[in-house]
């Protein structure tokens, strides 16, 4: 079945370490997105990519980096510059970036920095 | 910032219709209204979307007012499994493409 796979589901890291979250989709979608969710709050956009080798900053990009070398993959790196990295991270994709396209979400990665 | 306003929480009796309102008074003519729901610690699930006309699918109905400044999501026969956070979202157009901007959503509690 087609879908989006995020791994791992739970991730623990020490403060000051960079960590990379994986997001893979086999839906042949062009656009991919990363969101962050804090407890009791909605999702906030970190980065998004409309096409391979191109991406744009979202509303809270500071302390994060991404790459889009392949259509099916959009990894997110949480760097040591991110002041409060503990959160639930969600990856999504859509066929294109058109307003009429819905998103398909992954099941998320819960990152805890200790 | 999110372009929608939703009540923070609602209760609904099992088997009854759940009507979730959403205000989007600044919506532009080419912006779609989307509804997603999120069950605790899972990724959001697409429910329905629309532009001008009312829409219905196997999950829900979407009623959009004629002036497009508000909409209502209707779950016709709510079950306990429909307990979730429901997000009403206006698809925002940017230079780099369109994106979904999530607000805080409505916590729907379906009670037996």
Interface of B with A in 17-56 (CB under 8 A): 30-32, 34, 36, 41-46, 49, 51
Chain B within 8 Å of A44 (Cβ-Cβ)? Answer: yes
Q: What is the mean pLDDT of chain B?
A: 90
Q: What is the mean pLDDT of chain A?
A: 92
Q: How far apart are CA A13 and CA A19, in angstroms?
A: 7
The beta strands (E) that lie in chain A are given as 4-7, 10-13, 19-25, 31-37, 43-51, 54-57, 64-66, 76-78, 87-94, 104-105, 109-113
How does pLDDT run across A25-81, given as a tens digit for each residue?
Answer: 999 999 999 999 998 888 999 999 999 999 999 999 999 999 999 999 999 999 988
- Look at B42 and A108 and tell me if their CB atoms are within 8 Å: yes
How does pLDDT run across B6-18, given as a tens digit for each residue?
Answer: 999 999 999 999 9
């Amino acid at each position: 079945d087609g879908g989006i796979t995020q791994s791992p589901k739970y991730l623990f890291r020490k403060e000051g370490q960079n960590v990379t979250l994986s997001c893979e989709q086999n839906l042949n979608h062009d656009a991919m997105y990363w969101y962050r969710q804090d407890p009791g709050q909605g999702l906030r956009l970190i980065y998004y990519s409309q096409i391979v080798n191109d991406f744009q900053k979202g509303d809270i990009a500071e302390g994060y980096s991404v790459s889009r070398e392949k259509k099916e993959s959009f990894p997110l790196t949480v760097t040591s510059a991110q002041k409060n990295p503990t959160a639930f991270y969600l990856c999504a994709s859509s066929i294109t970036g058109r307003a009429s396209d819905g998103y398909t979400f992954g099941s998320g990665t819960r990152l805890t920095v200790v | 910032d999110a372009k929608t306003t939703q009540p923070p929480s609602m209760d609904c009796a099992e088997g009854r219709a759940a009507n979730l309102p959403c205000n989007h008074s600044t919506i532009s003519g080419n912006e779609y209204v989307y509804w997603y729901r999120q069950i605790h610690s899972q990724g959001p699930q697409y429910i329905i979307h629309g532009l001008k006309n009312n829409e219905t699918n196997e999950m829900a109905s979407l009623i959009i007012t004629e002036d497009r400044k508000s909409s209502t999501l209707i779950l016709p026969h709510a079950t306990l499994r429909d307990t979730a956070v429901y997000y009403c979202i206006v698809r925002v157009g940017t230079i780099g493409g369109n994106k979904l901007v999530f607000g805080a959503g409505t916590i729907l509690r379906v009670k037996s």
